[in-house]
Amino acid sequence: MRSSRRNALLLAINELAATNSDEIIDKDKLLEKCCKIIMEKQEYCLVWAGTRDEDGTAITPLVALTSANIPDKDCMNLVEQVVTDMDDENPAAIALRTGKHVICQDARESFEFKALQKISLKTGFRSCSAWPLGYKGKEFGVLSIHSEKVNCFTQDEISFLKTVAADISLALYSQEITRQMQVERDFNREIVDTMQALLISISPCGNILSFNQTAEKVTGFKEKEVVGHYWVDVLMSPDHRKTNQKLLSNVFKGEKEQMNFECYLLTKDKQHKFIDWHASFRQNLEQGKVGLVLFGIDITGQIRAGEDLNRAIAQWENIFTAIQDPALIVSNDFVILDANPATFTAARKTESEVIGHNICDILHLGRLEGTTCPLEELIQTRQSRILETELRGLHGSYLLTVSPLNMQDNSQEAALLVARDLTEEELMKAEAIRAAQLASIGELAAGVAHEINNPINGIINYAQIILDDPDDSDTPDLLARIKKEGKRVASIVSNLLDFSRRREESPEEVSFQKIINNCIELVNHQFKKDMIILDLQPPENLPLIYCNAQQIQQVLLNLLSNARYALNKKYPGRDSAKKIIFSFKKIRLKNNDYIQLTMTDQGTGIEHDLTDRLFDPFFSTKPKGEGTGLGLSISHGLVQDNNGFLKVKSELGISTSLIIELPVSENKPDTVENP
């Protein structure tokens, strides 16, 4: 009979485990099932099970069953009223504290009996027993059994109940261990899935056992697609399969416990990913299998970044070497880190004589004792500057560009220095100015010829009249006219010769109005022929300017030529608006006095987006074949050479104003800041 009851108990426990997909038995269901099987003995009238509260001061009943005609809810309330306190007279409390079962064969004097009598139960409990539920030091609760009979618990029954309590305790222990293992397994799986590395386990046969989320993301395969497949077919590019398969075979044979290797992986969408693998030997004790764990880091981005960096470095080295001007990289402590071949050529030194040496010693051939090198100051303050300077170490005058470099790892600050030789450039500039000057002379030649022709004809006519009648009373007047016309011719020729003659370019004090008058005298005939009005009304007492008169005359002739072209294009014939207006005023710029000349024509104007390009060499708004594109570029350079400014203001279809600002004679070059 007892064996059948125990078999029923064990069967119930196994059934509960079998029906639970999580392999965790519900504790309340287990206790309820066991209590029902115990209640099958007719002598028992109340069976309940509970656990000690966290603070240890009371017992919380979980299951309560009775043979009396009492609903389950009322039965639970009954137990809660009489057994919740951890009283010294409470058999359940004694069993929990001592860890041993308690038997009361006559419980009329017990705590529970007295309490039950207080609530007027019709049937009294004559005997009871309490059985602690625990295994391997773990406490799971208490099982309490009551009967109406005295001496209900025989020795055989006590042995049976002891076995039953042990079975229940073991089931609860197994439940606890299973729950802990599941939590640990879920935790480990969460760690594996959240790792930013590929984690793959492989069986001894080489088949994939597990595949974490990162491996899925990198390869494009889902775990269910690759589990059971041969690892080489999934994880290796075809070009690397044979080599890496041989390497891992050595690990399986026990020749190595772990190894590192790198190889390409072919993803599901046929992309190549470069993976850094770590393979380690693993023994699965639960399944009795030996296999490998592959830990992989996707370093494709690093490899590509390295390749891009190598390409960028190679390109930089090619560009740095190909620069025709001297170029140097200088550290923040003024040591030359690198230099291109043009530097060695200009310095007439070998690479070893330049690299690693102080920048001042190489470019300036040293410094006087107690002085500071301005170049070192620029490098130290990390300023970007462009300056014209003589570099004795490079044997010439250079336009030096200093640019700070931002090192990516901030390990060392540096600066890039590029020196452009100005010697050849100055010669080219002079030739360009001379070419523009000759072009202007050619353009003026026809007009000057006509301008001279009129006074010469007058001289001839006046001379003929005198020859015909030398004693005529008008002879003195005619001679005066001949002298006047001769001076006019001489002035025009002298002006043209002055403009065309190559002279030493030295600045001087000169009247701005005089320069303009000389220009007008050269172009007057052409402007009269084109019916262009020149409105020139300079103010009185205008200060002298300090400049190279020939260069400024070249500038004005270029500007007048452009204005003449624009007016003729807009007004083919006579028009009252076909004129050029000159205006003067004295201004203050950068603490210096300047004379500002504004020359405005009401011609075609210039598009707004082209004004920034007007001073670019070879850029011209004229049709092809009608302009060289050098006029404004050269004019801008000439004005700058004279410490002045040249500006343009224009509105398409309305007017164009050219503004020239030149320092007054009081502002010598040593006091005028170079713009």
624 has pLDDT over 70: no
What's the CA gap between 189 and 11, in Å, rounded?
33
Confidence band for 580, pLDDT divided at 50, 70 and 90: very high
What's the CA gap between 619 and 634, in Å, rounded?
11
**CB of 163 within 8 A of CB of 259?**
no
Fold topology of 2-182: Beta-Lactamase (3.30.450)
Confidence band for 598, pLDDT divided at 50, 70 and 90: very high
What's the CA gap between 414 and 343, in Å, rounded?
18
The pLDDT, as a whole number, for residue 629 is 37
0.75 exceeded by pTM: no
Confidence band for 524, pLDDT divided at 50, 70 and 90: confident
659, with CB counted inside 10 A (0-12, 13-18, 19+), is: middle
Kindly list the domain boundaries of the chain, sorted by start residue. Answer: 2-182, 195-303, 317-421, 506-675
Whole-number mean pLDDT of the chain?
75
**Where is average pLDDT lowest: 113-117, 364-368, 411-415, 530-534?**
113-117
Q: What is the pLDDT of residues 120-135, one digit of tens each?
A: 333 456 788 888 998 8
Report which of residues 371 and 283 the model is more confident about: 371
Q: b/e per residue, 281-306, with b = 16+ CB within 10 A? A: eeeeeeeeeebbbbbbbbebeeeeee
Q: What is the pLDDT of residues 165-207, one digit of tens each?
A: 888 888 888 777 777 766 666 655 655 566 677 888 877 777 8
Q: Does domain 317-421 have CATH number 3.30.450.20?
A: yes
Is 2-182's fold the same as 195-303's? yes
1 has pLDDT over 70: no
Q: Which residue has the tokens 């009185």?
A: 540
Report which of residues 449 and 215 the model is more confident about: 215
For residue 221, count other CB atoms closer than 10 A to its CB: 19
Confidence band for 616, pLDDT divided at 50, 70 and 90: low
Both tokens of 603, joined, read: 């011609």
Helices 422-468, 475-500: inter-axial angle, 10-degree rounding: 170
The pLDDT, as a whole number, for residue 305 is 78
Fold topology of 506-675: Heat Shock Protein 90 (3.30.565)
Fold topology of 195-303: Beta-Lactamase (3.30.450)
What's the CA gap between 109 and 402, in Å, rounded?
106
247 has pLDDT over 70: no
